[in-house]
Amino acid sequence: MTQGIEPTQLYDAYVFDMDGTIYLGEDLLPGAERLITELRQREIPVRFLSNNPTKDPGQYAEKLDRLGLPTAVEEIANTVVVMVRWLQANHPGKTVFPIAEEPLVRALREAGIAISEDPAEIDIVIASYDRTFEYRKLQIAFDAIWYHQRAILVTTNPDKYCPFPGGRGEPDAAAIVAAIEACTGATLAKNVGKPDPDMLTAALAGLDVDPRRAMMVGDRLGTDIQMAVNTDMVSTLVLTGDSTRVEAEALPEANQPTFVLERIDHLVPAAQRAELGWTD
């Protein structure tokens, strides 16, 4: 980690986490709008990435538009997109049981992936962020994995909770994974969300950019920054969301972010900020 030092150059592309990095709730974080606008004016590719499967890319695009950052759907990837791609590439023709909300269920149907609640037919149980989780769903997963001994367990994302403005939060997909593992004795077979490199592949799809010349920017050490570490990518932890500087400094050096910034617009080097007349 380059303590106390800001980036001294711009990179060839930027991949941004969204919640806690670009915005929090319904508000853009300080400096986010002018940073993204400046990068785009310089024709530097910008991509957005999220572990949250409760929205599809179109819904994220609508939110960014509403917050003043018009964004094409093609510039956004999240675990809904990556889960569908992973199933198509690795388990074609298999039947899934998604413990998930409508965006993922809809995407699975649109991709032609078979969905069933019959444990005798289920090949893959998908544990996701699901605010309609109930005992009935747990029983189906249990029967498919433990009783019929046929299904594997996968997840959209490994997050334990989703942070909310004001310090609150909601249990995330890891809580549902833990419930299924606890009763079945199964072990999670695959996580497609950050820090899995599949997420970075999805984010940079279509760009002729060396990942080592791109930067991952996020607020979570265990997902955003670890994904960058896993792919030899430059990373910046912004202190506007989940993880803290103290937590970053406590990590082994190899797992630390390249930079730690209080404000996201400090990704633009100080000399260039001065030329632009930017102040904090």
The answer on whether 50 is annotated among ligand-binding residues is yes
The answer on whether 17 is annotated among ligand-binding residues is yes
The answer on whether 128 is annotated among ligand-binding residues is no
Q: Which of 19, 130, 196, 242 is catalytic?
A: 19
Q: Measure the CA–CA gap between 129 and 132, rounded to whole angstroms.
A: 9
The answer to whether 12 is a known catalytic residue is: no
The answer on whether 172 is annotated among ligand-binding residues is no
Long-range contacts of 100-105 (CB under 8 A, 24+ apart): 100/53, 100/126, 100/128, 100/129, 100/130, 100/156, 101/53, 101/54, 101/128, 101/129, 101/130, 101/131, 101/132, 103/53, 103/54, 103/55, 103/56, 103/59, 104/53, 104/79, 104/80, 104/128, 104/156
The answer on whether 230 is annotated among ligand-binding residues is no
The answer on whether 265 is annotated among ligand-binding residues is no
The answer to whether 65 is a known catalytic residue is: no
Q: Which of 17, 159, 242, 265 is catalytic?
A: 17
The answer on whether 52 is annotated among ligand-binding residues is yes
Show binding-site residues for Mg(2+): 17, 19, 219
Show binding-site residues: 17, 19, 50-52, 194, 219
- The residues assigned a catalytic role are 17, 19
Show binding-site residues for substrate: 50-52, 194
